[in-house]
Structure 1
Amino acid sequence: MARFQENDLPKAKLNANALKKVTLIFRYAHTHQWKFYLGLFFLLLTGATALAFPKLLGMLVDCVNNKDLIKAKNIAHVLMGILFLQSFFSFFRLSLFVNFTENTLANIRVALYSNLIKLPMTFFSQKRVGELNSRISADITQIQDTLTSTIAEFLRQFILIIGGIIFLATISLRLTLMMLCIVPVVAVAAVIFGRFIRKFSKNVQDQVAESQVIVEETLQGITNVKAFANEWYEIARYKGKINEVVKLAIKGGQYRGYFASFIIFCLFGAIVAVVWYGVSLCISGEIKGVGELISFVLYSTFIGASFGGIAELYAQIQKAVGATERVFELLDETPEKINATQKHPTEKINGEVTFKNVAFHYPSRPEVQVLKDVTFTANFGQKIALVGPSGAGKSTISSLLLRFYAIESGQILIDNKNINEYDLEHLRGNMSIVPQDVILFGGTIRENIAYGKPDATEEEIITAAKQANALDFVNGFPEKFDTLVGERGIKLSGGQRQRIAIARALLKNPSILILDEATSSLDSESEKLVQEALENLMQGRTSIIIAHRLATIRNADAILVLNEGKIAESGTHKELLEIENGIYKNLSNLQFSEY
């Protein structure tokens, strides 16, 4: 998946509403706000010392005409002092802005992640992980760069432009007007032209990347290429893309040539025009001395460079405002009522589950009724199996039980109490789920098992691993429980991941257990070990078993057959097989005829 580049970030219009949103950043500065304002003060001092430099340099040059060595020496000392002060002010300006930014953004990152992780499943079902990751990385980085340097640089350039024009007007109003008609226009034109060339160069890079994709695809699928004798086709495809790259690159080279000609003729020509007009005014006596002319040229250079830089900085600020708006959109999302600061001891519930006339559709697909009038009861300690074709609503029942989504109508009761009356932490703290596709975190086996009970002792972790039939393979690793499982548990086999997930659930000791096709993707040997572990896990608790393999649920206390969102059949394995032309009987005949 392509990552968001900083240049790809969208810009926002700088209006009152957007700027009001940006000021919310200061809410997260807490006790660090003073650093930003003190940094602004040092920024003003930096701008003031920078504006004094061309004036004093002009006065130093004028000492040549007056042959005043003492005055020249004094001015030189003042200039060195100003340079020292500018260095001193710049150091504190940067240090303060960085300190303010890092502390503020640390608070925003924590607040953003804390809010994000507490958002309901309805939010995550409508958002892509890449987009959310971009908010935390690319958007925060854009805000960081802007607060650290862009705003300060923008204000400094603005001070140089305003201050420079005022100083120029005191030297010669006519020359100032002439300079303002030429230099800023040329500088801004150079920025626009340069941005166009950068965009064109990016297109060339994109085309080169596309040609590399062809190479990658061809080499990865070289067996197919050879088998179909399509070498000629791949060569033609690659050659066509390379020809496009060549055409674009040549065109880009021409544009860069135009840009170089523009800089040489227009930008330097503008400076020559200003200097020529200044010399003529100096000769006519309107400008007093060569020193004032040099000061004027330096101020003009400052203003031209600032006009060119401020346009780019403004664009960066627009991106930062857009990034801020997107970050605060996430912070404004309403989270679930979860205390994410510490783990509270969970009061145990008994585990009786009742669905009464439950109807449900996913918020992202309101036109599809997933569950229709679903009613059943699972008493304490019972094993209730849910079977049926894909899309019948089996996994949806487990999601509703965990209160990932709100039901449309009907009631879900736990121990004869409405599920919505339970505290979410209390409710979910009494449940465990062992899914088909177990995702482990990238730490050690010990950390993954302890995820079910973060304060578990070593003895409790070992006992859970033993009951889950995981202890033997864990002890087979050189590092045992300290073995790193890799990203998403990639270093472990499917059966090993399942048994770690079962150990995690055992450690949590839930009242209600949800098994979502926990053995469907395993080989026979792994399935046997996992099934034994699941039998240990299901003892003394209410179990909701979602299964495709009917052999794993023959001993269930009740089997519910879902079809098109409704419970079409219910009963024990033996009872369901007696239903003539029943859905369960047909599924059973299909599966067992394969063996």
Structure 2
Amino acid sequence: MDTGKMKENQEAEQNGEESNEDDQNQKVSFYKLFTFADRLDVIMMIVGTLSAITGGLAQPLMSVIFGEIVDSFGTATPDNVVGVVSKASLKFVYLAIAAGIAAFLRGKVYTTDVNFSWGLRNRVKGWQIAIVLLGCIPLMAIAGGFMSLLMAKMSSRGQIAYAEAGNVVDQTVGGIRTVTSFTGEKRATDNYNKKLEVAYAASVKQGRASGLGLGVVMLVVFSTYGLAIWYGSKLIIEQGYNGGRVINVIMAILTGGMSLGQTSPCVNAFAAGKAAAYKMFETIKRKPKIDPYDYSGMTLENFEGEIEFKDVHFRYPARPDVQIFSGFSLHVPNGLTAALVGQSGSGKSTVISLLERFYDPHSGEVLMDGVNIKNLQLRWLRHNIGLVGQEPILFVASMKENIAYGKENATDDEIRRAIALANAAKFIDKLPQVYSLSN
């Protein structure tokens, strides 16, 4: 019998591990991330995307204008150099205006079909040097992407370490009486210092990774500069290129390469978002067995408060191997004060959880005035049953608001009557602001 149970447990564990692995590998589609986007969201995303594209065109266009300015220095005479340069510089103003319009999301974008193959060599500026420098783009993209990934990983470690240190402080301050009673101040301080040492080490590693990554990126960038200038000078001498065209190509290629490197964190963010969204959508699709928003069910006009448990069997979903109730029965007539006494884990709190319908029993019945509570409207049931925990939680509001939270539109007389029933009137009356006190 024991061997059979062990096999069942092993199979259950294996099935659980397989299901966890399946959940980790599950992702939603990219478009499903925008399932709950309304019409305004879609419009804003479209306008934002088009504006981002328009704004992104500013950098390559700037390289074209900068190349024209470089050419104007070489071709203009002393008499007209100011006019030629000013004319080229004025294009920067136009570019700034266009970028500003895109930034304020007020641009219109039109698309036109173009025969790209027609006149390719005549339309692409400096195609020979561009082909050479295109070989450097993968290096820049890899270097930039590696640096971004490394920085993100190191930053995550540092944040976790600082969060653990903050957790030590939070627990120590929250339980300061316990810490003081056991003279554990030094121990708490030492524990906090250890966590800070881990955070400091993570920050040092992050700094080293940042320096190394930036050094590699700069090495690739300046090596590309050197290659571009060397090959550009050859083209100027041998094929009649001008300086502006070379500068134009260099800036455009470097901008494109660095931009590709910077897209890596965004791609990772989308991948992480699709994986995280899977669990979220599964939770949204899940239909709870006990729906608090289901207003169907009956209500009792003459509610007396008689409670009865009949042959109840129950296990918590999180602990299916632990039997809490096995044939539990209890009858509490209306008007009777009853106390449940037992050791920890015997099911005292479970009785209240079943009565409030936080859970339903696997078998048996829970009756209220002779009616199965499954047939009662859940909102009505919980509205008529008050639960005060061993350590009640107070909301950040006045004492009056906290007391009135159990009943909508509660009057002052009802609040005072509740205070009297709770034997709390004596100490509340001594407070300076009485029922409007904010703590």
Shift of 1:269: 1.3
Shift of 1:459: 2.8
Task: Render the CA deviation track for 1:539-593: whole Å, top value 9, x for unaligned.
Answer: xxxxxxxxxxxxxxxxxxxxxxxxxxxxxxxxxxxxxxxxxxxxxxxxxxxxxxx
Tell me the equivalent position of 1:41.
50
Q: Is the 8 A contact 2:154 2:206 kept in 1?
A: yes
Q: Is the 8 A contact 1:183 1:271 kept in 2?
A: no
Shift of 1:424: 0.3
Structure 1 position 299 matched with structure 2 position 299: no
Q: Distance in 1 between matches of 2:307 and 2:167?
A: 53
Q: Distance in 2 between matches of 1:409 and 1:197?
A: 55
What amino acid is aligned across from residue 346 of structure 2 in structure 1?
A
C-alpha change, 1:253 and 1:49, in structure 2 (3 Å) is closer
Tell me the equivalent position of 1:273.
227
Specify the SS of the correspondent of 1:171: coil
What amino acid is aligned across from residue 247 of structure 2 in structure 1?
I
Q: 1:24 aligns with which of 19, 25, 35?
A: 35
Tell me the equivalent position of 1:414.
368
Q: Distance in 2 between matches of 1:359 and 1:175?
A: 80
Tell me the equivalent position of 1:452.
406
Shift of 1:61: 2.6
Q: Distance in 1 between matches of 2:386 and 2:196?
A: 55
Q: Is the 8 A contact 1:358 1:371 kept in 2?
A: yes
Tell me the equivalent position of 1:83.
96
Specify the SS of the correspondent of 1:377: strand
Alignment of 1:359-508 (within 5 A): 359-485=313-439
Unaligned runs of 5+ in 1: 1-11, 95-165, 486-595
Shift of 1:13: 8.2
Tell me the equivalent position of 1:284.
238
Q: Is the 8 A contact 1:357 1:409 kept in 2?
A: yes
Q: Is the 8 A contact 1:350 1:415 kept in 2?
A: yes
Q: 1:313 aligns with which of 251, 266, 274?
A: 266
C-alpha change, 1:24 and 1:170, in structure 2 (3 Å) is same
Specify the SS of the correspondent of 1:375: strand
Q: Distance in 2 between matches of 1:305 and 1:87?
A: 23
What amino acid is aligned across from residue 292 of structure 1 in structure 2?
R
What amino acid is aligned across from residue 373 of structure 2 in structure 1?
I
Q: Distance in 2 between matches of 1:185 and 1:468?
A: 73
Q: Distance in 1 between matches of 2:247 and 2:373?
A: 80
Shift of 1:439: 2.3
Specify the SS of the correspondent of 1:452: coil
C-alpha change, 1:82 and 1:400, in structure 2 (3 Å) is same
Shift of 1:207: 7.5
C-alpha change, 1:25 and 1:217, in structure 2 (3 Å) is closer
Alignment of 1:120-199 (within 5 A): 170-193=124-147, 195-196=149-150, 199=153
Q: Distance in 1 between matches of 2:346 and 2:131?
A: 77
What amino acid is aligned across from residue 57 of structure 2 in structure 1?
A
Q: Distance in 1 between matches of 2:414 and 2:197?
A: 66
Specify the SS of the correspondent of 1:413: strand
Shift of 1:196: 3.0
Q: Distance in 2 between matches of 1:334 and 1:461?
A: 37
- What percentage of residue pairs aligned between the two structures are identical? 26
Q: Distance in 2 between matches of 1:340 and 1:92?
A: 44
Specify the SS of the correspondent of 2:235: helix
Tell me the equivalent position of 2:116.
none
Shift of 1:18: 2.9
Shift of 1:404: 1.0
**Greater Cα offset, 181-190 or 400-409:** 181-190
Q: TM-score, normalised by structure 1?
A: 0.56
Q: Is the 8 A contact 1:346 1:430 kept in 2?
A: no
Q: Is the 8 A contact 1:39 1:93 kept in 2?
A: no
C-alpha change, 1:21 and 1:296, in structure 2 (3 Å) is same
Specify the SS of the correspondent of 2:311: strand
Q: Distance in 1 between matches of 2:348 and 2:212?
A: 66
What amino acid is aligned across from residue 81 of structure 1 in structure 2?
Y
Shift of 1:421: 0.9
Q: Distance in 1 between matches of 2:134 and 2:394?
A: 64
Task: Render the CA deviation track for 1:428-465: whole Å, top value 9, x for unaligned.
Answer: 12211233322222321101110121301223222332
Unaligned runs of 5+ in 2: 1-23, 108-119
Shift of 1:417: 2.0
Tell me the equivalent position of 2:72.
63
Shift of 1:224: 7.5
Q: TM-score, normalised by structure 2?
A: 0.73
Q: Is the 8 A contact 1:56 1:75 kept in 2?
A: yes
Task: Render the CA deviation track for 1:328-365: whole Å, top value 9, x for unaligned.
Answer: 34433335433499xxx995523222322211111112
Task: Render the CA deviation track for 1:145-178: whole Å, top value 9, x for unaligned.
Answer: xxxxxxxxxxxxxxxxxxxxx9998123332222
Q: Distance in 1 between matches of 2:181 and 2:341?
A: 41
**Greater Cα offset, 41-50 or 248-257:** 248-257
Specify the SS of the correspondent of 2:30: helix
> How many residues matched?
391
Q: Distance in 2 between matches of 1:32 and 1:256?
A: 37
Tell me the equivalent position of 2:11.
none
Q: Is the 8 A contact 2:129 2:228 kept in 1?
A: yes
Q: Distance in 1 between matches of 2:74 and 2:371?
A: 98
Specify the SS of the correspondent of 1:273: helix
Q: Is the 8 A contact 1:361 1:370 kept in 2?
A: yes
Tell me the equivalent position of 1:559.
none
Q: Distance in 2 between matches of 1:257 and 1:32?
A: 40
Q: Distance in 2 between matches of 1:281 and 1:339?
A: 75
What amino acid is aligned across from residue 350 of structure 2 in structure 1?
T
Q: Is the 8 A contact 1:43 1:93 kept in 2?
A: no
Q: Is the 8 A contact 1:200 1:252 kept in 2?
A: yes
**Greater Cα offset, 331-340 or 274-283:** 331-340
What amino acid is aligned across from residue 448 of structure 1 in structure 2?
N
Shift of 1:74: 3.5
C-alpha change, 1:216 and 1:392, in structure 2 (3 Å) is closer
Q: CA RMSD in A?
A: 4.3
Q: Is the 8 A contact 1:13 1:318 kept in 2?
A: no
Q: Distance in 2 between matches of 1:276 and 1:306?
A: 24
Q: Is the 8 A contact 1:169 1:176 kept in 2?
A: no
Q: Distance in 2 between matches of 1:188 and 1:93?
A: 35
Task: Render the CA deviation track for 1:260-308: whole Å, top value 9, x for unaligned.
Answer: 6534533311221122212211222263x21111111210221122022
Specify the SS of the correspondent of 2:224: helix
Alignment of 1:205-354 (within 5 A): 258-259=212-213, 261-285=215-239, 287=241, 289-335=242-288, 336-339=290-293, 347-354=301-308
